[in-house]
Structure 1
Amino acid sequence: MSTFGMLTNFSGMNAYLATGISYLIGILVVGAGLLIFSILTQYNDLDEIKRGNVAVGLATGGLILSLSNVMRFAILSNNTTIGVLTWGGLGILGMIVGWWLFDKLTPQFRVDEELSKDNRSVGIMVFSVFMAISYIVGASIS
């Protein structure tokens, strides 16, 4: 088996190496999801959290937990790095679709605006929407 094949297929790989690669992929996918959402939102996530915006903290925390949950299922259900990355990417896509749907299904207000105004009830809803999507995506993976 080629070196590339050894690094892309977890079967027969040293358990420590497989764990390290899975960990690295998980962190990278969660980081990519956070980066994508920081670009999509109309506010600066880190600045809002730094100033004590609980609603943005809840939404961001929900995103981190939900992407991590998707990665859990992706890692447990796949024995290749490509499979893990594919499902991680679909997890990010699911979060984007969920964010968009939540925004469209609540025409009475803009999610971004309410989060930037520290509307904690919207923060809790966004947290919950992200987690719900992660359970659905996770179940579809396994």
Structure 2
Amino acid sequence: MGFLSWVDLLDLIVGVAVIVILQLLGMVLFSWMTPYSDLKELKRGNIAAGLAMGGQFLGTAIILGVAAYTNTSIWHMMLWFAIGYVCLLAVYCVFDWVTPGLKLSEHLQQGNTAVGMLLFIVYVGMSFSISSLIV
């Protein structure tokens, strides 16, 4: 068992860079879905928005981690991440649709911690389920 070769090291660096870029891109796309500024809500100390955003980050990271673990090609990893990520975005839309009496974004902006915690769990739980489909 030897040290990493230069090729292995370069593959590792590229892989980590792609993962970081995809994670950040995922978070930007999630922030575009909210009618309020996520960063302003965090600066304001809005725990509900922070929980929802944390769930988005962790859910995205779970899908990305499984996509990276189960694929040897960066391109396949990116493809499976994109598929899983679109599914996670759809989960939010469906969840918002099936709870018509509960306008999620309004409750988050108002600081409803129960809604923030619920969304955190929905994102994380569904990302585990979605990840089981990534091959």
Summarize deviations over 1:62-97 as a string: whole Å, max 9, x none: 111111111111111111111111112122212210
Q: TM-score normalised to the size of structure 1?
A: 0.86
Q: Counterpart of 1:132?
A: 125
Kindly report the root-mean-square deviation, in angstroms, between the aligned alpha carbons of the 2 structures.
Answer: 1.5
The equivalent residue for 2:68 is 75
Identity %: 28
**Structure 2 residue 78 is matched with structure 1 residue 85:** yes
Aligned position for 1:20: 13
Match of residue 59, structure 2, among 47, 61, 66: 66
The 5 Å alignment of 1:1-142 reads 14-142=7-135
Instruction: In structure 2, give the amino acid aligned to 1:16.
Output: L
Verify the 8 A CA contact 2:52 2:117 in the aligned structure 1: yes
Structure 1 residue 33, shift from structure 2 partner: 1.1
Q: For residue 36 of structure 1, what is the amino acid of its counterpart?
A: L
Kept in 2, the 8 Å contact 1:48–1:56? The answer is yes
Identify the residue that residue 7 of structure 1 maps to in structure 2. none
C-alpha displacement of 1:129: 1.0
Amino acid at match of 1:110: K
Q: Runs of 4 or more off by more than 6 Å in structure 1?
A: none
- Normalised to the residue count of structure 2, the TM-score between the two structures is 0.90
Task: Give ranges in structure 2 of 5+ residues lacking alignment.
Answer: none
